[in-house]
Amino acid sequence: VREHPVVVFMKGSPAQPLCGFSNAVVQILRLHGVEDYRAHDVLQDPDLRQGIKNYSNWPTIPQVYLNGEFVGGCDILLQMHQNGDLVEELKKLGIRSALLDAEKDQEKK
């Protein structure tokens, strides 16, 4: 979780999520323009699936880590997206949210 600024433990892959919650996390990250992140498919390794739950003390997948810190699952990431916190957290990682550029484009119209 510390090797990359954004790490997601999910079911499936970003190209082919295998559950709705994992898909939602991928879509939220995509909305913000976050393409460079590490994704780990927990369905490929039962030990990883259980191990990450134990590590975070969080019972569900997907799990999102920003800068090595556990953020939460789909519900938390969605809430952060909705209230603007995700833009700020990404900024701390040196990632400019694509939504900021989209807002500027809207203001020009």
Residue 108: the pLDDT is 59
Residues annotated as binding site for [2Fe-2S] cluster?
A: 19
Percent of residues, the chain, with pLDDT higher than 90 = 88
Mean pLDDT score of the chain: 94
Residues annotated as binding site?
A: 19
7-23 pLDDT, tens per residue? 999 999 999 999 999 99
Residue 109: the pLDDT is 54
Mean pLDDT of 43-61: 97
Residue 89: the pLDDT is 96
Rounded CA separation 52/54 (Å):
5
- Reference 29, options 108, 102, 97, 104; nearest CA is 97
Overall CATH class of domain 6-108: alpha beta
